[in-house]
Structure 1
Amino acid sequence: MRVLFSAGLGMSAALRLVLLARELQAAGHEVRFSCPARARHRVVRAGLVPVLAAPRQFSRAWRPDLVIHDPLCPDSAAMAAESGVPTVGYLPYAHRPLPPLPAVWIDPCPPLLRDRPEPGAWPVRCDAYELPGQPEPWLTELSLIPRVCVTGVPTGNRPEDRRRAQLFRRVAEGVESLGLQLLVLTGDDHPWSVVLQGSVVVVHGGDEGIVYAAARFGVSQLVLPAGEAEQRAGKRLEQAGIGRCLTDDELAGTSSMLRLRFHIAELVNGGRVLPAAAQLGQAIARMPPPADLVPGIEALVR
């Protein structure tokens, strides 16, 4: 069986697809992986063959038997639609997928965080591929000071990016003012299994990959949403009792730093949030791994 994977711009989505691609290749199938250039080194290090041509052009020439794609990427969705073969898509967390719908949905979202379950979707653990590496020793050492990880700080020059970057800086100031250990990450590709196992809170903008990573390791979350979809993601975390979502308006005014410090301290020191996050991580560990999807995927083309 020939299987074509097509990932979009999001690194986290590509790294989830890599895990399933490796399982299908290990089962004896011919796999090709289309992704943005910046993710190709991950694909190669994972032992997969990257696609260097445009996805739609490659699909017409290679003629896959099955397409597994990112339904948030226009090129991937269009290529899957015109392939004429069964398609599989990873169900997004808070964003609406692009049409048309795939033959099968794979849902990596833990049931507790899924607002409206998709009937018939195949559940899978929300793992992501990580390169083996040598982390900094201080990241793996036991620390007596609670660590707060801040990631996803906007780097653009638009006015809204600068406003949100300032908001992240204020959060970092609030963390340090409480005597907590601060870890600020740049970029979108990190060894979460190392970083988050030593953290008690992760602060981010509502990115799906970070939501899943923090949930997987039982870490509470503070979301500073970038838009409506990210705000929906953050509010769902609040409803599940494992995090907080704070918008620009909620952090406006002279008393905003006091409120911010209160929310950070609340997430760090527990209440219901820390045990609820730990229980979610345990529930995710019991979900099916990507290898369990292989027989169902093979049955789609028989």
Structure 2
Amino acid sequence: MRVLIVSAPLIGHVFPLVPLAAALREAGHEVLLATAADGLDVARSGLPVRDVAPGFDFGRIARGVLLRHPLVARAELAGRGGTRGAGLLFGTVNDQLADGVVALAEEWRPDLVVHEPFAVAGAVAAARLGVPTVRHENTLFDGRELIRATVARFAPALRRHGLTELPPPAAAVAVAPPSVLRQDGWPMRYGSYAGGGDLPDWLREPGERPRVLVSRSTVAGPGSGGPMRAVVAAAERVDAEFVLVRPDERLARSALPGNVRTVGWIPLAAALPTSAALVHHGGAGSIFGAFVAGVPQLATVGAGDRRHNAELVAARGAGIAVAARAITTALLTRLTTDAALRDAATQVGREIAAMPEPAELVPRLAALA
């Protein structure tokens, strides 16, 4: 069986598709990933990848969409745009992906197309070829809502390829822990390609004090620096060790408190089991990483989906949702000492561990083709 896996051109979108892609290949199936721009970094995983939109510039598209829709832009920057802003943005993104994905599909002739909710270009290619599709969730939204919002802004691409609508998927893969969000589809344990990097020896074992990892977004834009500066400002008065993962150059060169260290790109999933907590920008990948490790997290509310994601964490009791500017010594102390947060995070981790591994879904996917 040949499986084409389609993702939006962003690291945080394509990396979570790697575990299922790898499981399919290990079972003897041919796999090809289709993406562009930053998403091409997934080639480091060893999986075959094709650039379906050479010259793609996500930042330029995002700026153009926000300038044309100022009210939506305001809501998006506040994290209150819901799926409307996502539909506008990724409708344009997929318009630029569709022709390349369709051309690749017609050349490679897959038997099955797997795509994430923000990559409906994959569903267009499948419809053209008459092959089934599978929606692979990778966010903390209901993917059906995301696809509806995107397709509503996707009419020109549909018409170009002789379609008026997209057929429903043959199946869906749901990765969210049900106690946090119930997604439609076959449950599968969340995983993600780490993106390379080596884990220093000192991060392989717990430190003398509770260790808190602090990360930021892989996407440039509003809030991309995340909570790092706020954490640094409050860290000295917290009985913990803080590790800034990929800080910007200016922050890395500045004078830091004695309990703050820096590190470059590391496999975050490998560092979390020896850590007490994670502080991050509210991205879905970071939230899932803390969930899998069963550690409490502080997720900052912000633009795009970050407020939604952070509030889900807080509603589950597995972490704290707060604006970066509101981070205090008291909140960071609570993050490392609150037994209720730790217990809830542990429960979510166990919930994810009980979900089926990607390899268990491969026979079900093969039966669709």
TM-score relative to the length of structure 2: 0.69
Distance of 2:306 and 2:346 partners within structure 1: 22
Distance of 1:45 and 1:228 partners within structure 2: 28
Aligned match of 2:344? 276
- Measured after TM superposition, the shift of residue 192 of structure 1 is 2.1
Q: 1:239 to 1:166 in 2, by over 3 A?
A: closer
Higher mean displacement: 187-196 or 84-93: 187-196
Aligned match of 1:230? 306
Amino acid at match of 2:346: A
SS of residue matched to 1:272: helix
Distance of 2:2 and 2:354 partners within structure 1: 30
- Measured after TM superposition, the shift of residue 102 of structure 1 is 2.5
- Measured after TM superposition, the shift of residue 227 of structure 1 is 2.5
Aligned match of 1:27? 27
Distance of 1:60 and 1:125 partners within structure 2: 32
1:66 aligns with 2:112: yes
Amino acid at match of 1:299: A
Aligned match of 1:50? 49
Q: 1:85 to 1:143 in 2, by over 3 A?
A: same
Q: Equivalent of 1:97, from 120, 139, 146?
A: 146
Q: Equivalent of 2:231, from 151, 163, 171?
A: 171
Distance of 1:135 and 1:213 partners within structure 2: 16
Q: 1:289 to 1:177 in 2, by over 3 A?
A: same
Distance of 1:136 and 1:51 partners within structure 2: 32
Count the aligned residue pairs: 285
- Measured after TM superposition, the shift of residue 130 of structure 1 is 3.6
Q: 1:44 to 1:192 in 2, by over 3 A?
A: closer
Aligned match of 1:293? 361
- Measured after TM superposition, the shift of residue 145 of structure 1 is 1.1
Distance of 1:143 and 1:189 partners within structure 2: 20
SS of residue matched to 1:3: strand
CA-to-aligned-CA distance 1:210-230 (integer Å, 9 cap, x gap):
111110001111111222532
Distance of 2:236 and 2:141 partners within structure 1: 31
SS of residue matched to 2:334: helix
1:127 aligns with 2:191: yes
Structure 2 contact 206–275 (Cα < 8 Å) conserved? no
Q: Equivalent of 1:143, from 193, 204, 207?
A: 207
- Measured after TM superposition, the shift of residue 106 of structure 1 is 0.3
Q: 1:4 to 1:155 in 2, by over 3 A?
A: closer
Aligned match of 1:218? 294
Distance of 1:165 and 1:198 partners within structure 2: 24
1:12 aligns with 2:88: no
Distance of 1:166 and 1:299 partners within structure 2: 43
What is the aligned-residue RMSD (CA, Å)? 2.7
Amino acid at match of 1:244: I
Distance of 2:291 and 2:316 partners within structure 1: 11
Q: Equivalent of 1:110, from 177, 191, 194?
A: 177
- Measured after TM superposition, the shift of residue 9 of structure 1 is 2.7
Q: Equivalent of 1:247, from 275, 298, 323?
A: 323
Q: 1:266 to 1:223 in 2, by over 3 A?
A: same
Q: Equivalent of 1:209, from 263, 276, 285?
A: 285
Higher mean displacement: 59-68 or 36-45: 36-45
CA-to-aligned-CA distance 1:170-204 (integer Å, 9 cap, x gap):
12321333142111112897412322112212111
TM-score relative to the length of structure 1: 0.83
Q: 1:131 to 1:208 in 2, by over 3 A?
A: closer
Distance of 1:16 and 1:98 partners within structure 2: 18
Distance of 1:81 and 1:56 partners within structure 2: 9
Aligned match of 2:216? 152
Distance of 1:40 and 1:228 partners within structure 2: 23
Structure 2 contact 6–114 (Cα < 8 Å) conserved? yes
- Measured after TM superposition, the shift of residue 44 of structure 1 is 5.2
1:36 aligns with 2:36: yes
Amino acid at match of 1:24: L
SS of residue matched to 2:113: strand
Amino acid at match of 2:211: R
Q: 1:190 to 1:89 in 2, by over 3 A?
A: farther
- Measured after TM superposition, the shift of residue 63 of structure 1 is 1.8
